[in-house]
Amino acid sequence: MNQSGIKKSDALSEKLAGLPDSLRALKISIQNEALQPNGELAKGASFKDDFDALSGLVEDNEAAYLMVRQDSGSFVFVSFVPDTAKVRDKMLYASTRNTLSREFGTDKIASTYFATTKAELTFAAFIKQSAEEDKPYTEKEKELQDVKQAEDQIHATGAKQQIAPTGAGLSCNISTSAQEALNVLKTTSTSRAVVLQIDLQTERLELAEHKEIDIDNLASVLPKDGPAYLFYSYVHEYEGSGITSQIFLYRCPDSAKVKERMIYSSNRSSVTQAADFKLDVRYEAEELDLADLKARIHPPKQTATAGFARPRRPGKK
């Protein structure tokens, strides 16, 4: 399965169909939603010297793949993803690596090497990493690890950009109907839900659902599969007063594809900015747990020593 939705371009297909024996390394980049050939290195005096020259093919802050031909004819698949690369690029390259392996031919790849700096693109560093890998990651394990790290970085930085560009550099705009529905939530006098989803083809935030609904039925407005953003104006009484709690839910089921997870996660903070009103509760989950959500809206009151109260001394009342 293609986890990211990225496919090889016609140009790359033609290049792979006729790789000359004189080629030592081929650089492949993700451009315009496709895998594209983006540079090459001719064979030199030795594999060692040529490997040391790979740093000249890459940029400090840009991710890339390198297919490096060994003297035996098999290839080393180099995944170059700098720590300083854009977060969405990290996720996109992590989730596309398996796709490129299959398109290139897994039988042609002898090993995979991961580098994050130009200094690591040396023969000595390659040999050292190969020797230290007592139990190397499978491609799937490495892919999931890289995507998780990139998601964590998004969460840490808050992703404060405007509705974010995707890994391919496209922008995700909000539709008029989606914006109008969000505006209604600012002044609604009844409990009302707005569900938004990103059209992955057009990179556009679209309105999926807008309706009055009781909180106990809230799960019914969420799509059966795939990620979604839910804004909910919860109009209710609490301790004798009428209040409105503004709730934001980001739901991403475990079954979501890596590209979906990447795009939704990186745009989450920006989508809340599009709402342009104060959110009382922000909730993220694979599935909606109604009891947990209600507890977040009105946390149960606890005494400072609840659950950890010291036993009273004998004779004390």
Q: 24 forms bridges with which residues in the sheet?
A: none
- The amino acid that residue 67 corresponds to is M
pLDDT digits (tens, 9 = 90+) for 28-85: 999 988 999 999 999 998 999 999 999 999 999 999 999 999 999 999 999 999 988 8
Token pair for residue 104? 């290139």
CA-closest candidate to residue 232, choices 277, 269, 175, 265: 277
| CA separation, residue 38 to residues 12, 27, 310 (Å) | 9, 5, 68
Say how far residue 70 (Cα) sits from the centre of its chain. Answer: 33
- The amino acid that residue 278 corresponds to is K
Q: Where are the domains of the chain?
A: 7-157, 173-297
Low-confidence ranges of the chain (pLDDT < 70): 1-4, 132-172, 301-317
Q: Does domain 7-157 have CATH number 3.40.20.10?
A: yes
pTM greater than the 0.85 cutoff: no
Backbone angles phi, psi at 24, to 5 degrees: -95, -45
Q: 29 forms bridges with which residues in the sheet?
A: 36
pLDDT of residue 120: 92
Contact 37, 18 (CB under 8 A): no
d(CA 207, CA 210): 7
| Domain 173-297: assigned CATH number | 3.40.20.10
Q: 205 forms bridges with which residues in the sheet?
A: 174, 198
**Cβ contacts of residue 251 below 8 Å, gap of 6+?**
222, 227, 228, 229, 230, 284, 285, 286, 287, 288
pLDDT of residue 215: 95
pLDDT of residue 29: 97
